[in-house]
Amino acid sequence: MNENDAKMRIDELRKTLEYHAKKYYDEDKPEISDFEYDMMMNELKNLEKQFPDLITKDSLTQKVGGHVKEGFTEVVHEVPLQSLQDVFSYDELREFDERVRKQLSDGGAKLKYVVETKIDGLSMAIEYKDGNFVRAATRGNGTVGEDVSNNAKTIKTIPQKLAEPANIIVRGEVFIGSKEFDKMNEEREIQGKTLFANARNAAAGSLRQLDSKITAERPLDIFIFNVQKLENNTFNSHYEQLQYLSKLGFNVNPVKILCNNIEEAINAITKIGDDRESLSFGIDGAVVKVDNLDYREELGTTYKTPRWAIAYKYPPEQKETVLQDIVCQVGRTGAITPVAVLNPVKVAGSTISKTTLHNEDFVKEKDLKIGDTVIIQKAGDVIPEVVGVVYSKRTGKEKEFVMPHVCPVCGAPTVREEGEAVTRCTGIECGAKALYNMLHFASKEGMEIDGLGFSIIEQLYDKGLITGIADIYNLKLEDVASLKKNGKKFAQNLIDAIENSKNNDLSKLLTGLGIRHVGAKTAKNLSRSYRNMDNLMNASIESLNTQSDMGEVMANSIYQFFHEEQSIDLINKLKEAGVNMESLEEESDDKRFEGMTFVLTGTLSKYSRNEASDIIEKMGGKTSGSVSKKTTYVLAGEDAGSKLTKAQSLGVTVISEDEFQDMIS
């Protein structure tokens, strides 16, 4: 490769790596695997090594990728939090050992290594004065990080006071354990929230929350792995320092192996690789560190990395196996996911017999057929995936996979809407969706049953006291009281809340039913228009299509919902339980705002936004979240922002609250 070609490729790699580094470090939303990123970084390093004149200070090979997030106070690290050079083979580890020995004045006569697991999380420095917690900061770009002290205080394994009055700065890795991550994602799925892609993203995103209350809700943990600075330091061994950190009360990395030479270190790395499936936390490699602190001082560092440590990344292991079948699982939100059933095969230390195929499009893109010989890959602790098909082993007897037209759990029809990759179950009484449906039904947006949150619903469900929405209204005082010690008062409050919910407006019930595409605003419009549940259930597609802000997709969704056997059954059960099926809002002949569209912006002092919207809609008007040429009025309160500016630029009439009051009086 000549220099011009090298420069073009280097520029391309830098641009791509900068993009993915931003996604990884700053947004905690990586779009590629660590292995893919590492391979590109390795290619860039090799090209820069071959063409050193092309190295620039802003290259990611010369700096750490993170930046300080807006909203956090900057912290200048007293001792930089450097990154590590990555290697991918044992020969590269031996080369590292040779370099170290050559650089040491005594040839490394007393050279020992400590091998530790490379925790897959977010790096953080914690400072203590006289044994008391002072401050915690993320790595950031290695020199400047973010002050996350309030968030760090919510992590139970970070001591607020040490066993000795030490003045010390330590470095650790914040992470979420494997089981804790799975449970957290399961709860998020039930609550209808976006799932975290992996534990590292979840940990990083949780630690970098501007609201520490959110951080406190996440199961964060930390392993301390280094002393950055210690006043009156008498240690000359990293391994002994780790033992001292444990004595002080820190949660130290549990995998730390003292090795007499590089071959022992390689054996330790191999063993960690073999055992990593049994670890309770995710790793993305192993770290080899020079144990002798005087040697570290002599070896020094580059701008980005220490010369006394190196990170070994486990290569992805690939195996062939047979795709025996593709079965479909129904998630808590009704999403139907195809799952590969495989001839069991051992990959990267674990036996794989099943793995997700994500959705129908993934199966088609990979051209997977039942009976195919496929390649399975598992890099580090990443979920195993089907990489591709071994076409040379196709026999012609393989079968095409077709997504089911009915739910494999409840038999209700499935639907895949235009523009979506997910196929969903439409049954409201589907057992797979039970927890999610009940939680949404009881939510503030739905029937507003105070006290009936995720934990209580889960306990009631696990005890078999409720299996679906209708069962909520069959709960007895003793059922609820049995969930808590001395829980009679709580039980009475919850039973009262359930009873009171029967008197809600029809719009609350419609929201609580979780009809696809129907939110609180549409539910109110439907309640106003049809006045009772029977009228709505009997409404034709044509009638629904004439409703305010009703598109064809939404109208079809509502029509199909009310013609599902499960929906009809549930509504009949709710009627029998005494749940109100009528609109409680007085009908109004006042349509003074008919044909008008309002946009609300800024802080209103005389009404809440919901109150103002209700008034407008009762009088025949519509409310919108965005300003356009079709907007009739913008109702602007204090501190109105971009919507007010846009209204002024488009010539849309802007009114104050006083003017609005005059219009409705």
pLDDT digits (tens, 9 = 90+) for 351-363: 889 999 999 999 9
Order of strands, sheet of 622-624, starting from the edge strand that comes earlier in the sequence: 622-624, 597-601, 633-636, 653-655
Please, where in the chain does CATH 2.40.50.140 lie? 317-393
376 token code pair: 């399975």
Instruction: For 74-312, give the CATH class.
Output: alpha beta
Question: Which superfamily does CATH assign the domain made up of 431-576 to?
Answer: 5' to 3' exonuclease, C-terminal subdomain (1.10.150.20)
pLDDT at residue 26 tops 80: no
Return the pLDDT at 37.
77
The alpha helices in 301-431, defined as continuous H runs, are: 360-365
202 token code pair: 């979840």
d(CA 261, CA 239): 15
d(CA 603, CA 609): 8
Mean pLDDT of 502-506: 97
Residue 301 exposure: Cα atoms within 13 Å on the Cβ side = 15
Q: What is the pLDDT of residues 135-173, one digit of tens each?
A: 999 998 889 999 999 999 999 999 999 999 999 999 999
C-beta pairs of 102-106 under 8 Å, 24+ apart in sequence? 103/298, 103/299, 103/307, 104/295, 104/298, 104/299, 105/298
Return the pLDDT at 422.
92
CATH code at 3-62: 1.10.287.610
Q: Residues 112, 118, 521, 524: which is the catalytic one? A: 118
Q: What is the pLDDT of residues 170-225, one digit of tens each?
A: 999 999 998 898 888 888 877 777 788 778 888 988 998 888 899 999 999 999 99
Please, where in the chain does CATH 3.40.50.10190 lie? 597-664
Q: What is the pLDDT of residues 218-265, one digit of tens each?
A: 999 999 999 999 998 899 999 999 999 999 999 999 999 999 999 999
Return the pLDDT at 608.
82
CATH code at 317-393: 2.40.50.140
Mean pLDDT of 277-295: 92
Are 62 and 303 in contact by the 8 Å Cβ rule? The answer is yes
Please, where in the chain does CATH 1.10.287.610 lie? 3-62
Please, where in the chain does CATH 3.30.470.30 lie? 74-312
Confidence of residue 368 (pLDDT cuts 50, 70, 90): very high
- Beta-ladder partners of 87: 312
pLDDT at residue 589 tops 90: no
Q: Is the dihedral of CA 156, 157, 163, 166 positive or negative?
A: negative
Residue ranges with strand state E in 88-243: 113-119, 122-129, 132-138, 144-146, 168-175, 221-230
Indicate the fold that domain 597-664 takes in CATH.
Answer: Rossmann fold (3.40.50)
In terms of pTM, does the model score above 0.85?
no
Q: What is the pLDDT of residues 473-493, one digit of tens each?
A: 999 999 999 888 778 899 999
Return the pLDDT at 417.
86
Return the pLDDT at 12.
86
404 token code pair: 């089911």
Are 572 and 600 in contact by the 8 Å Cβ rule? The answer is no
How far does Cα 81 stand from its chain's mean position? Answer: 26
Least confident of 196-200, 447-451, 508-512: 196-200
pLDDT at residue 11 tops 90: no
Q: At what angle do helices 199-207 and 178-190 cross, to 10 degrees?
A: 80
Are 122 and 202 in contact by the 8 Å Cβ rule? The answer is no
Please, where in the chain does CATH 1.10.150.20 lie? 431-576
Question: Between 197 and 309, where is the model more confident?
Answer: 309
Are 425 and 336 in contact by the 8 Å Cβ rule? The answer is yes
Is 183 known to be catalytic?
no
Mean pLDDT of 311-335: 90
Question: How many other C-beta atoms lie within 10 A of the C-beta of residue 218?
Answer: 20
